[in-house]
Structure 1
Amino acid sequence: MSGPRIVGFGGTTREGSTGEQLIRAVLERCARGRASTRLFAGAELAALPHFAPEQPERSPAQRDFVEAIRAADGIVIGTPGYHGGVSGLVKNAIDLLEDLRADQRPYFEGRPVGLIVCAAGWQATGVTLAALRGIVHAMRGWPTPLGLTVNTVAQKPFDPAGALADEAVRGGVEELSRQLMSFVRP
């Protein structure tokens, strides 16, 4: 595929979590726009050993993840808002990207990064989104103007069949995908 490469990662240890489904929905829409996409969901992230900067050896799963991000033209990160912050699962994956520090294009440099936060309350979604934006800025990325936040108590984003059911969430997924695709520079 000659289009941009969009890599998404995040979710929780629960297969099919709301965050994982939202990342998947954004990637599906990017794929409709001719992007090649890849998802590292909660199960893949949970299998990553803890990042240890003093240990340069990497597992095959760690190398695969780092190489996918290295080759990405755009990135989607989804996290639950645990106690107002990024989950340890997602943070460990982000920390592993320290391996990109000496690259020609370090960290997230020059790439749009779409952000998704799911939490059981609006306050947790807001502060977690702000924290995630700060992380992306520190890693030289461009957070998209829209950061998608979903309050899993007030909103039911998916129907039982897994289709987007909430109109506001569906609109957010569409806009986040549009922004990612319009900002990538393959």
Structure 2
Amino acid sequence: MPDQTATARPLVVGIGGVIGGNSSTERALAIALDAAAQEGFRTRMFGGEDMARLPLYNPRATVRTDDERAFVDAVRDASALIIASPGYHGSISGVVKNALDLLQETARDERPYLADMPVGLITTAHGWQATGSTIAALRSIVHALRGWPTPFAAAINVRSTNFDDDGGCSDPAVHEQLSLIGRQVARFAPLVGDR
């Protein structure tokens, strides 16, 4: 018999990473999701390789792949979201944008897009300039999708902060910032009601 308490717990979905492996972005996202899990939430991450399996969003497509349906269904089931993107040329990566474009599939739902959902934001970049513009781009996208960006967002310069394979971070202050994002989405998620 399935564990009913596990599926009854609210879900935080994480979206982020790059194609080609376990990136700094995914490792940062994992720290934030771990903090949400410590608050009692289920978590599910869609990393770079997951997003790479999503075809380019075609609004006229009449059939969606299994990967597309799994992604949209997870977001539909979520009480909160955390989006992490590397800063590519001053904005978000193509795979993250493509995944967010796919949320158009929820336009006619009772809760369309990210309506009333708390959304934590993380950016990583090789320098500070791209982190600020990427956070601003993510905030704009979340607002357009009717979501609520959490008050705190993490901008991480990966030239000065390293992540290891065991979930560690070389800068305790950055680790705390990422954990704060997980705690904030967990704190604000009950405000949107049971999902």
TM-score, normalising length: structure 1: 0.95
Q: Which residue in the other structure is 1:179 paired with?
A: 184
Tell me how far 1:160 sits from its aligned partner. 6.3
Deviations 1:97-151 (A, max 9, x none): 0001111000001110001100111110000100110000000000011111101
Aligned partners of 2:63, 2:41: CA distance in 1, in Å? 31
- Aligned-partner residue type, residue 116 of structure 1: I
1:8 and 2:14 correspond: yes
> Quick one: which amino acid aligns to residue 96 of structure 1?
L
Within the candidate set 55, 58, 65, 2:64 is matched to 58
* TM superposition shift of 1:158: 2.1
User: Which residue does 1:30 correspond to in 2?
Assistant: 36
Equivalent residue for 1:165, pick from 160, 170, 182: 170
Structure 2 partner of 1:99? 105
Percentage of pairs with the same residue: 43
Q: What is the rounded CA distance, in whole Å, between the counterparts of 2:185 and 2:165 in structure 1? A: 28
- Aligned twin of 2:130: 124
**1:10 corresponds to which letter in structure 2?**
G
Aligned CA distance change for structure 1 residues 95 and 13 (closer, same or farther; 3 Å): same
Paired with 2:44 and 2:15, the residues of 1 have a C-alpha distance of 8
Give the Cα separation in 1 of the matches to 2:15 and 2:181. 15
State how far apart, in whole Å, the 1-side matches of 2:166 and 2:13 are.
25
Q: Give the drift of 1:178.
A: 1.4
CA distance in 2, matches of 1:35, 1:160: 23
Cα RMSD over matched residues? 1.2
Q: Which of the residues 82, 87, 101 maps onto 1:76?
A: 82
TM-score, structure 2 length as denominator? Answer: 0.91
Conserved? CA contact 1:6–1:27, under 8 Å: yes
* Distance (Å, rounded) in 2 between the aligned partners of 1:172 and 1:67: 29
Q: 1:31 to 1:160 in 2, by over 3 A?
A: closer
Tell me, what secondary structure is at the counterpart of 1:118? strand
Deviations 1:2-22 (A, max 9, x none): 332100011001311011011
By relative contact order (CA 8 Å, sep 6+), the higher-ranking structure is 2
Task: Give 3-state SS (helix, strand or coil) of 1:85's partner.
Answer: coil
